[in-house]
Amino acid sequence: MIITVQMVLNCLIEPVGHLEPTVDTLKSGRLNGEVRKVAVVFMATYAVIKQAVESGVDLILTHEPTYYNHKDEVDWLAGDPVYERKRRLIEESGISIFRLHDYVHTYKPDGILVGMLKKLEWESYAKPGEMNLLSFPPDEQHTVRTIVTHLKNKLGIDNMLVAGDLEMPVRRFGLMPGASGGRSHINYFERTDIDLLIVGETNEWETNEYVRDAADMGLSKALIVTGHQISEEAGMLTVVEMVREAFPDLQVDLIASPLAVKNI
């Protein structure tokens, strides 16, 4: 049986039905193109696309955009040497690229969140029905610092940003991978009365300043910012598993990337 791009996408769209509007569109390639090998990635970087093309991948499923903006608008990039070279690589290779962002976050529960909970071995701490709200059992003692250490070990990173007191005990906390925005973070603090929120990325003048103020008021609030990529990349393993299960004959692998920036 020939497997097409459309068939793989149908499998990924099926759990929620068609979303409209959505940024999850085919960025290149053809819906009726044949697929034998799939690469699942956090970001379709130039290096990732090159590696995928060279290893015979037909379809890339990427969580984040290809062209440096959420909607993958390209008019403003016309003539830019980085954009033009990337576009040429993609077009000449004929590879299909589909963004899988809104769908995977709309799964119940959120596919990225589930993948990250697995990676962090925190599934048992998550509240059923609201899995980004976590609680430690009464016999476990944790502080912001012990959680930082756990995140470093499990995610393989050397540093992260922290607001609040590192020695503060943590009982209830939130896990919000990605960059859902200041209002989303702050409303979550208010609604759930958590001690600690772990996020991927913030705008500095929003969540960071809210938690700074809270801590300076003596409230038990802290924030960990891990970086966006590291907060979601392992979550895409959910997608790897889905496609492998639906299409056992396909070769499906996650291509992880180094971080775009180094902490110097």
Nearer to a second copy, 34 or 76 (CB): 76
Which element (helix H / strand E) includes 60? strand 59-62
Q: Which one of the spans 17-25, 26-34, 159-167, 245-253 is the region binding a second copy (CB under 8 A)?
A: 159-167
The closest of 66, 65, 8, 62 to 32, measured between CA atoms, is 8
Per-residue binding string, a second copy, 105-134, x by CB under 8 A, is ------------------------------
Q: Decide if residue 57 touches a second copy (CB under 8 A).
A: no
Q: b/e for 203-230, b at 16 or more Cβ within 10 A?
A: eeeebbebbeebbeeeebbbbbbbbbbb
Q: Decide if residue 93 touches a second copy (CB under 8 A).
A: no
Cis peptide before 65 (omega within 30 of 0): no
Residues contacting a second copy: total by CB under 8 A: 60
Q: Decide if residue 85 touches a second copy (CB under 8 A).
A: yes
Would you say how long the chain is, in residues?
264
Q: Which residues contact 55 (CB under 8 A, 6 or more apart)?
A: 37
Q: Decide if residue 183 touches a second copy (CB under 8 A).
A: yes
Q: Decide if residue 72 touches a second copy (CB under 8 A).
A: no
Report d(CA 33, CA 6) in Å as an integer: 8
As beta bridge partners, residue 127 has 130
228 is in an annotated binding site: yes
Q: Decide if residue 154 touches a second copy (CB under 8 A).
A: no
Q: Binding residues for a second copy, per CB under 8 A?
A: 43, 45-47, 50, 64-65, 68-70, 76-77, 79-82, 85-86, 145, 148, 159-163, 166, 179, 182-183, 186-187, 189-190, 201, 203-214, 216-217, 219, 221, 223, 225, 227-229, 260-264
